[in-house]
Structure 1
Amino acid sequence: MYSVSLYEVAPSSIHNLATPFDSAIPFIPAMIVPYSWSLILFVVSFFLVRTSTQLSLLSYRLILATIFACLIFYFYPARFSFNRLPPNDWTQFGYQFLQLVDKPFNQLPSLHVSYAILLGVSLWDVVASKKQWISVTYRLLLTGICTLIALSTVLTYQHHLLDMLGGAVLAVLVLMLSNRIRNALVIKYLAVGSIGFLLIAIGGFYFANMSMRVSEVVENLAIIIAAYWLISFTMLACAYQQAKPLRDMHWFQKSNSGRLTLYTWMRFAPIIIIYNGMSLFGQWYFKVTSRGQIHLLIPYAINNRVKVVASPRLRQADLHSHLAYWLFGCTSLERSSLAEKLPPSVHYQIIVIDLAAEISSHVDHLEVAAKNMTSTPVHYLYLPLLDLQPLSDVLLKDYIDLFKRIDALTQSAETRAITANNESRVKGRQLKDGQAKDSLTTLINFHCVMGLSRSIGVQVLYLLYCGTLTIHSYQSWIEQHYPHAHLTDTYLPQSLVEAVANYKSIEYLTTL
């Protein structure tokens, strides 16, 4: 519809791709039949593939071809140049229907040709038989169908030869690219970026033609916004395409207080706004469904000095209640009564591990709440994980480095507590019988602002690293402490669990 409207407003903007060779191609009305096979083969192909890998690859290829073709249609609109007289035989109904649903625009590349090649390649091995003649017959039939579909594009006067060539080139590029796509999330964000670009740019075009006074300004502004949207989501797709090394820190930078930097906002504002909206909606929905009641998460004690807890993004109004429960086991404490119940010889520290790349952390609010309650120091660590990114996408080394930093903070604080006790003895302030020594309680909070999966997953890896959990007990532990968690083998693979659980023993052997 965009090309049709553009042709009516500015006919010179539509390109003509006819060559001298096209005039020698005959019009064969009966080729409308194989031309219609494209849609049938497109739908049937999803039922013919035999494995999930084949299905994913087929989907990647078709989506990529459609995305790239639509972008080319926008940037290089073309129109079929010949006049096609409607036939008077049994095929006339097919051409009448074609005239209604498939106008002679969006020519280069021919998606019929691209789809024919991509479907032919994707379905080549789906029929496996011990009898060779069955496989050969199937492949000859598939080749014949796909060839007729491609040829029908020019024999029905729907496309020119250059359109066919463009469709073939697009198919080859997609075949090369699709084998390198790491996961469906890359395709997802490429699609979101392209669709958003087309909707914004075309919407600006129509709105500009409705308001003739500022038409040029409106259209140019829409194109700028659309281009920014496309570039932002393309960069996001590139971030998901990155392999093992931890590069999310480069893509989504944060300050020491857990706030996304201005540089990050400039690159990823659309997705950041979307995720913030989702987070706020989730908090509002949870508040409504829970009728204002606070569901406090139970920390897990590694020993009598260290607790760990996984959490989603916490509302600022609930931070005081969560801290009181995590540190002291109290469901609700007023600030005045809290001071009376705190043992004077016990000190606290909180270590927050921020796992969400797309949204700012709530660590700044948590730090304020902790200082108001107990003057508890809060340490902030950042391990950026993209949404739905498998935990195995991060190198084992990056996890171990994080866990060692946590241990260093814990041990450093314990050392300070021991030193304080020793100084008391040196100064002659010996502790009386029954008087507690200075001790430290550390709360480690793994948190992700978009949910619990990331938080629980990394917390489990840390407990495996500490030796608190084993490869035989971690699943039952998850079921006991987080019964509603969804940690599939794809998200938290067994190979990663074993690598973390065995790390210390392997490290010890290598030092011998």
Structure 2
Amino acid sequence: MASFFLVRTSTQLSLLTYRLILTTIFACLIFYLYPARFSFNRSIPDDWTQFGYQFLQLVDKPFNQLPSLHVSYAILLGLSLWDVVASKKRWILAAYRLLLTGICTLIALSTVLTYQHHLLDMFGGVVLAVSVLMISNRIRNALVIKHLTLGVIGLLLIAIAGFYFANMTVMAFKSIETLAIIIASYWLISFTMLACAYQQVKPIRDIRWFQKSSSGRLTVHTWIKFAPIIIIYNGMSLLGQWYFKVFSKNQKYPLTPYAINDKVKVVASPRLMQTDLSSHLTYWLFGSSSLEWSSPLESNRPAFRYQIIVVDLAAEISSHTHNLEIAANGIMNTTVHYLYLPLLDLQPLNDVLLEDYIDLFKQIDDLIRSAETQAFVTNNKDKVEDSLITLINFHCVMGLSRSIGVQVLYLLYCGTLTVYNYQSWIEQHYPHAHLKDAYLPKSLVETIANYESVTY
């Protein structure tokens, strides 16, 4: 316990935490798959140590033997605390390291000397510690650890629940344990694949992970791979939509689009429900609610062509694009386009290649230019006067931070915002947004702002 307070930097603390978590979940997995037991009867001495051995028998049962977590922890803690003492006097540093080595060595040896483990268990503890050291040095972030942990914990809980349920029911339901093991194994495989996705460096364009259709729906193949996490995210999305609706009820239209010019608007939003899309869409395009606006064909309203570009930033859940197309059917001359930039949950915006952002923004520019050119040709051909309005909707799962962040990057790319005013713009338009430097670093902002692009 003291080791968490002895490390000197946040990096050392994170590394220590990674290692202990990995060691524990791997050991628990081995304990389940290979439940070794101490093979001798533990003798209790008759001398003054009797109380200590009795206490050990009470709190430390002779199960979960291989590997020895005492040995694994001793090695990991010793290495993590090796450099925590900073002294120019060499004898102080040598004395500290000698004391640390002695304590960790005694912890490891005591597991055999007090009849808690066999020598093979100690060897297993060493192998586990060395393996974790090798793996932890390659782990990219805490999200990889999180999903590995969820995978192992889920496997153990589901399998153990199946075991107890099978033993408490009649013989006809004995197969429930086998079914539970199958489900538990699937859970572990799914979360392990998810951890691998987070482990990839710059995985945005790697479509092996979360594939979607042209309308923004997760494919069957993606569901087969990640059904547990997708179900969890759908539940979180419903909860987020409920929270957004309840706590923004005093704001009539909390998602107000920002006009880049008189023909292009941008708006950031969470993933919206079908029941909400009609009112939001009408407000985004016409600046009024569906109750206040009756028909786009009113004589006092000028003719418009509308183009909606949906930029989906959520990898783990389907987009609201297909519902938006349904809502847009009641508006004449409306086209909906779908673009996909798959960002994994809690992935910082700088964990994306610059060319991926630029490619996305160029696709948006091309859609705007193409629609404007087509509208111009059509107007001249048919002798009509109408205007093209483009609405760009950046959306994520349930929050606004990711949507706002990518929207800000696009406005920087367009030249609408600069490195000097983007923060004040966020504070003005999204005062409750959480865009810390770790999520939207200034280095990324400067790179996007300095990229040569077409300014509207």
Same fold (TM over 0.5): yes
Q: Is the 8 A contact 1:116 1:149 kept in 2?
A: yes
Q: Establish whether residue 120 from structure 1 lines up as the match of residue 78 from structure 2.
A: yes
Residue 124 of structure 1 and its aligned partner are, at CA, apart by 0.6
Counterparts of residues 82-481 of structure 1 (less than 5 Å): 82-214=40-172, 216-290=174-248, 294-333=252-291, 336-340=294-298, 343-424=301-382, 429=383, 437-481=385-429
SS of the residue corresponding to residue 308 of structure 1 reads: strand
Match of residue 448 from structure 2 = 500
Residue 85 of structure 1 and its aligned partner are, at CA, apart by 1.8
Could you give the per-residue CA deviations for residues 234-285 of structure 1, whole angstroms, max 9, x where no partner exists? 0011111010242453200011111101100001000000110111122223
Counterparts of residues 49-68 of structure 1 (less than 5 Å): 49-68=7-26
Match of residue 9 from structure 1 = none
Are the structure 2 counterparts of residues 384 and 470 from structure 1 closer, same or farther at C-alpha, using a change threshold of 3 Å?
A: same
Quick check: 87-96 or 185-194, which moved more? 87-96
Match of residue 37 from structure 1 = none
Work out the CA distance in 2 between the residues paired with 1:365 and 1:243: 33
TM-score by length of 2: 0.96
Work out the CA distance in 1 between the residues paired with 2:279 and 2:250: 13
Match of residue 30 from structure 2 = 72
TM-score by length of 1: 0.85
Are the structure 2 counterparts of residues 403 and 289 from structure 1 closer, same or farther at C-alpha, using a change threshold of 3 Å?
A: closer
Gaps of 5+ in 1: 1-42, 432-436, 508-512
Which of 428, 431, 440 in structure 2 is aligned with 1:483? Answer: 431
Match of residue 4 from structure 1 = none
Residue 397 of structure 1 and its aligned partner are, at CA, apart by 0.6
SS of the residue corresponding to residue 251 of structure 1 reads: coil
Q: Is the 8 A contact 2:197 2:203 kept in 1?
A: no
Could you give the per-residue CA deviations for residues 392-443 of structure 1, whole angstroms, max 9, x where no partner exists? 111111110110000000000111122123325xxxx5x8xxxxx4321100
Q: Which amino acid aligns with 2:364?
A: I
Higher share of residues assigned helix: 1
SS of the residue corresponding to residue 445 of structure 1 reads: strand
Are the structure 2 counterparts of residues 62 and 474 from structure 1 closer, same or farther at C-alpha, using a change threshold of 3 Å?
A: same
Residue 215 of structure 1 and its aligned partner are, at CA, apart by 5.4
Q: Is the 8 A contact 2:211 2:222 kept in 1?
A: yes
Gaps of 5+ in 2: none
Quick check: 137-146 or 322-331, which moved more? 322-331
Could you give the per-residue CA deviations for residues 69-113 of structure 1, whole angstroms, max 9, x where no partner exists? 000111111111111222233333332222222101101000000
Q: Which amino acid aligns with 1:225?
A: I
Task: Output the aligned Cα RMSD.
Answer: 1.9
Q: Is the 8 A contact 1:127 1:135 kept in 2?
A: yes
Could you give the per-residue CA deviations for residues 276-300 of structure 1, whole angstroms, max 9, x where no partner exists? 0111122223334455975431111
Work out the CA distance in 1 between the residues paired with 2:427 and 2:46: 70
Quick check: 404-413 or 373-382, which moved more? 373-382
Q: Is the 8 A contact 2:305 2:333 kept in 1?
A: no
Could you give the per-residue CA deviations for residues 331-360 of structure 1, whole angstroms, max 9, x where no partner exists? 344663443177343211100000000111
Q: Is the 8 A contact 1:197 1:226 kept in 2?
A: yes
Work out the CA distance in 2 between the residues paired with 1:379 and 1:341: 28
Work out the CA distance in 2 between the residues paired with 1:95 and 1:291: 63
Between the aligned residues of both structures, percent identity stands at 77
The number of aligned residues is 455
Could you give the per-residue CA deviations for residues 332-391 of structure 1, whole angstroms, max 9, x where no partner exists? 446634431773432111000000001111111111111213341100001110110011
Work out the CA distance in 1 between the residues paired with 2:329 and 2:251: 25
Residue 158 of structure 1 and its aligned partner are, at CA, apart by 0.3
Are the structure 2 counterparts of residues 456 and 342 from structure 1 closer, same or farther at C-alpha, using a change threshold of 3 Å?
A: farther
- State which structure, 1 or 2, has the greater radius of gyration over its C-alpha atoms: 1
Q: Which amino acid aligns with 1:62?
A: L
SS of the residue corresponding to residue 207 of structure 2 reads: helix
Q: Is the 8 A contact 1:150 1:164 kept in 2?
A: yes
Q: Which amino acid aligns with 1:391?
A: L
Residue 476 of structure 1 and its aligned partner are, at CA, apart by 1.2
Work out the CA distance in 1 between the residues paired with 2:268 and 2:240: 17
